[in-house]
Amino acid sequence: MATPYLSAFATADGWQGYGNGKMPADKLCRVAPGQKLRCDAAAAYGELAAAYQADFHKELCITDSYRPYRAQVDLLRRKPTLAAFPGTSNHGWGLAVDLCDGINDFGTPQYRWMSVHAAAYGWVHPGWAREGGSRQEPWHWEFAGDSLR
């Protein structure tokens, strides 16, 4: 489910010539064990994670990040009401994360913290994912870049 503000980062024509879910490993940076993002998003995630750890005294919990095309196909097969159509997921651009440990539930201190602080680090909770939105995914956050800082 693409959002308009991400168009500067990833378009239907791709990002630096790479398609959604087809980014090479050397264009991605590690944010946690088994989790990678595009390097600009990863740097901003690192700053966000450091601020979160300073306030909560624990690591920012992440369950999903960059999603290769094959994984998008598999997720749609397993969770058809939850997954984006393969090739359209912001996870496939390396610009989206799914978070846990309280952030994944509306109204928790962790979710409220993200709602207040994420934009300072270039991260947004898209309207469709917010409480009352069309898909309500408290865990899903997207990198919108330095325009928010």
pLDDT number for residue 4: 38
* Contact status, residue 60 vs residue 49, Cβ threshold 8 Å: yes
pLDDT number for residue 16: 74
pLDDT number for residue 9: 46
- At residue 18, φ and ψ (nearest 5 deg) are -105, 140
Q: Per residue of the chain (149 residues), give pLDDT as tens.
A: 344 334 444 455 666 778 999 999 999 999 999 999 999 999 999 999 999 999 999 999 999 999 999 999 999 999 998 889 999 999 999 999 999 999 999 999 999 999 999 999 999 999 999 999 999 999 999 999 876 55
DSSP line for 62-131: EEE----HHHHHHHHHH-TTTSPPTT--GGGGT-EEEE-TTTTSTTSHHHHHHHHHGGGGTEE--GGGST
Domains: count for the chain:
1
C-beta pairs of 108-111 under 8 Å, 24+ apart in sequence: 110/56, 111/138
pLDDT number for residue 3: 41
Radius of gyration of the chain (CA): 14
pLDDT number for residue 148: 56
pLDDT number for residue 8: 42
pTM of the model: 0.88
Domain with residue 22: its CATH number is 3.30.1380.10
H-helix or E-strand containing 28?
strand 28-32
How many Cα neighbours within 13 Å face the side chain of 48? 32
- The whole domain housing 77 covers 4-148
pLDDT number for residue 12: 54
